[in-house]
Chain A
Amino acid sequence: MNYTKSETDLIVADSIEELNYKQKKLLLASENGETDDGQKYAEALIKTLDGGVYNKVREKFRDQNYRGKVLAALDKKGVQCVTVKSADYPGLLKQIPVPPLVLYLKGNRALLATRKFAVVGSRRTTAQMTEVCKSICAELSKKLTVVTGVADGADGAAAKGALKSGNIICVLPGGHCRSGAANADLLRKVEQNGLSVSEFPPMTRVQRHTFLLRNRILAGLTEGVLVVSAAEKSGALSTASYAANYSRDVFAFPYGVGVPSGAGCNALIKSGAFLCDCAEDILSVLGIDTDEKKKSEPELEGDERAVYKLLKERGEMHAEAIAAALGSALSDALTVCSLMEIKGLIIRTGGNAFAAI
């Protein structure tokens, strides 16, 4: 990758571990030869740093050898960078209070320029909502780029749903080389078809606070956020509150009373988030034309039709209850349920129960 001088400055400054965000900005300003205030910024920087450290950092920043090493290491790992000075730095992200100086990328960089929408949720999401999230993301990804994380549960489901279209961005909670170990497979596929983004240099470890920093990017990159599932205290809620602060639209799935993984979603709706139960709900708010093709009832016959109707009317049902309602043997009910599961009409929700999608 070739970077301009100012881009390289940013990348090198970002790679210096001794500095925090403010200090990096001061360093960049002090080393910027075009203005005469360099000395002023340097003094400000020295105030916050130990004198020795400042000298070391400045040495590092100016050292051509070090600069070359940083860029070569990035190239070797297959990581590209987009900096605040780059042309394709996402405009929406620039608006947030503390935009990352550098975004580290792997995959299809062009996705940064598309319209983006975030889908987030808890690791503990019910089987049924996981499935709904997957299908809505598949729908959304035809019109937008879906932005999410790579964790288990809702994030993973969103990524899987959008993977087919390739309009998927996963934002990582740590450096590229240190994230997503649990879902390495999924992340690899995302990087092949879509894009993975991180504000951290590749070797940065995932820590508790990096998740919160990451959530700010999820909200910042996108026009709106859908919260798939969230308990009363959940990381997904922090993304939603960032989104509200950045005046993005917030959507949430509705849940029944007493469902622990939905309490946060219901609270969001109470405080004014859009209620969402299909992709159209989101697309219409964002002003994107939908195909107006409401999901039609699948054409089914005999027992399959009866089972589908039952599950649509009564919600989740146990296999034995289905058999009793059909008046058939349990083995026949299981056969029908298996067939419909394969067709993708219903799913297992655990404990031998089924639910329609």
Chain B
Amino acid sequence: MLSKIASYTVVGLDGVPVEVETDINKGMVSYELVGLPDTAVKESKERVFSAIRNSTLRFPVNKITVNLAPADIKKEGSQYDLPIAISLLVASEQLKADTDGIVMLGELALDGGLRAVTGILPVLISAKSKGFKKFIVPFGNANEASYIEGIEVYALKSLREAFDFLSGTPFEPVQVRSFEAAKGRLSYDCDLSLVRGQAVAKRALEIAVAGGHNILLSGPPGTGKTMLARCIPTIMPDMTFEEALEVTKILSVSGELGEDGIASLRPFRTPHHTATTVSLCGGGNTKIKAGEISKAHRGVLFLDELPEYTRGALEALRQPLEDGKITIARAGGAVTFPADFILCASMNPCPCGNFGSKEKTCTCTPAQIRKYRGKISGPLLDRIDLQVEVDGIKYEELAGGSDGEPSAEVKKRVERARAIQRERFLNEEGVTVNADMGERQIKEYCRLSPDCESILRAAFERLNLSARARSRIIKVARTIADLDCSEIIKPKHILEATSYRNFDSTAER
């Protein structure tokens, strides 16, 4: 007899339907699996055999052909175990049930248990839009499946339960949970108030987050650059449900989703500087996987010791920094992953790390420093609006230093500034924050008074700024004005913005 069971695979971040067809016929005893299966799928034959036998069911002894359709997509992973087993049971007429319209996914253990698989969320979202309403998933994926409304998801523990469920035994579907509740469960493990001193850098972080600007922190080793960077997500506005789903999809496909089943915190990714271009941007031969920049989507990509990364890896960041997404084309097809993140990079001011330090002496020659900084190309620096020095000053040295402001306070100001920007860019396609502005938007939304123009001109002459620093300064000034709730850009905003261009001028010296 012939049976058909609906299942899904994931290509990029989208679910693609796969039909599992099983035909049992008279003939020489054999068990064939066709339809471009990879090794993990082929091995499912053995798992399915044991799982059926150990669930006190019978494995048919006949000529068996299992086909995964469409036959032109390469099938990867272990999620076809469950649909294959069920279709075998249906085809061998042990299970007499209507399996139409039920999407099944799950890996089988040899004892017949169901193990969690990756990529459940993208499948549910895609299948729901295709009209599927009923799903059987492993119990381990229950949390991940609980945030989608309007579908019935049954999270089952074993093949036997699936058999019983399909035979008519009632099971409770997964309860839909709200994102709001999930948000409260986790919190960031750092806070700006824990960083002592560093007021300049903190202020720069606030501006960076408010305007979506990328930021470069440079300073001697041990001055808290990493700590500061870790605080960036804590001052970013909370993710909306839509944003959370985008992030969850990527983590789900990568198999990095936490216990909670949804990403309620903004991601903070710190790939090591030995990372390859592919691991940063994504890629792969048969199945294209998301890279670190996509896993940092809606969050922060922190590149510590920026000059140590390979040139190729850094240059590859340029296009996604511009577009907020990356399209990876391989022989097997092209996939687009979102990659809208704030880039936070850190570096030492010179190879020995002590340039500009008050306590230690720098042993580098100016030529060495030039070479070190030259590792970061101009076009990449163009996309980093804020370049700040993190100083090694001792906290005790500051007269009247006060305790740091908690992240929550800063976040309020950031949210207010973001609200102003949302309103401003309501009619602009693809522009949501100041950092996204192109030349046209700068002209339209950042009109400068003659005062500001003359200050900017003087700054350029005196401080030896490059021409490309101009639009950077104006964009940052716009954000500072937004934080100040000021409609127009005032001279003081321009002046403050020029003080965050450390890299341009010190490189000249």
A residues within 8 Å of B by Cβ?
123-124, 127, 130, 152-153, 182, 260, 318-321, 323-325, 330-332, 334-339, 341-344, 348-353
Contact = CB atoms under 8 A, between A and B. Distances in A.
B169 interface: no
A351 B358 contact: yes
A321 B398 contact: yes
Contacts of A152: 365-367
Contacts of B199: 319-320, 323, 330
Nearest 6 A/B pairs, CB to CB: A350-B356, A152-B366, A351-B391, A338-B495, A338-B499, A335-B495
Contacts of B499: 334-335, 337-338, 341
A252 to B, nearest CB: 20
| Size bracket, chain B contacts | 35 or more
Given A182-B367, A338-B495, A127 B391 contact: no
A153 to B, nearest CB: 6
B401 A351 contact: no
Interface string B201-225: 0010000000000000001100000
A338 B365 contact: no
B393 A324 contact: no
Given A123-B366, A350-B355, A353-B358, A321 B389 contact: no
A130 B509 contact: yes
B400 to A, nearest CB: 5
A279 to B, nearest CB: 21
Contacts of A324: 398-401
Interface in B338-397: 349, 355-358, 361-362, 365-367, 370, 389, 391-393, 397
B455 interface: yes
Contacts of A344: 462
B505 interface: yes
Contacts of A124: 362, 365-366
A336 B499 CA distance: 10
B285 interface: no
Interface of B: 197, 199-200, 203, 219-220, 349, 355-358, 361-362, 365-367, 370, 389, 391-393, 397-401, 455, 458-459, 462-463, 480, 492, 495-496, 498-499, 502, 505-506, 509
A351 B357 contact: yes
Contacts of A342: 455, 458-459, 462-463, 495, 498
Nearest to B501: A338
A182 B366 CA distance: 10
Q: Most chain-A CB neighbours within 10 Å: which of B357, B367, B505?
A: B367
A30 to B, nearest CB: 44
B398 A338 contact: no
B389 to A, nearest CB: 5
Say what secondary structure dominates the interface of chain A.
Answer: helix
Contacts of B495: 334-336, 338-339, 342
B398 A320 contact: yes
B391 A348 contact: no
Nearest to B459: A342
Given A318-B398, A320-B200, 17 more contacts: A123-B365, A123-B367, A127-B509, A318-B391, A321-B397, A323-B199, A324-B398, A324-B401, A334-B200, A335-B495, A338-B495, A338-B496, A343-B462, A350-B356, A351-B356, A353-B391, A353-B393
B361 to A, nearest CB: 5
A247 to B, nearest CB: 33
A334 B358 CA distance: 20
A321 B365 CA distance: 30
Given A339-B495, A349-B356, A260 B393 contact: no
A244 to B, nearest CB: 27
A338 B362 CA distance: 26
Contacts of B391: 318, 351-353
Contacts of B502: 348
A11 to B, nearest CB: 33
Contacts of B366: 123-124, 152-153
A350 B462 contact: no
A338 B506 CA distance: 14
B204 to A, nearest CB: 10
Contacts of B462: 341-344
A325 B496 CA distance: 19
Contact of B200 (A123, A260, A330): A330
A319 B204 CA distance: 13
A351 B392 CA distance: 7
A343 B461 CA distance: 10
Contact of B203 (A330, A336, A338): A330
B463 A341 contact: yes
Q: Most chain-A CB neighbours within 10 Å: which of B391, B393, B458, B495?
A: B495
Contacts of A349: 356
A336 to B, nearest CB: 8
Contacts of A332: 492
Nearest to A318: B393
Contacts of A336: 495
Nearest to A319: B200
Contacts of A123: 365-367
27 contacts: A152-B367, A153-B366, A318-B391, A318-B393, A318-B397, A319-B199, A320-B398, A321-B397, A321-B399, A325-B399, A330-B199, A330-B203, A331-B203, A331-B480, A334-B496, A335-B492, A335-B495, A336-B495, A338-B495, A342-B458, A343-B462, A348-B502, A348-B506, A350-B356, A350-B506, A352-B389, A353-B391
Nearest to B370: A182
Contact of A260 (B219, B361, B496, B505): B361
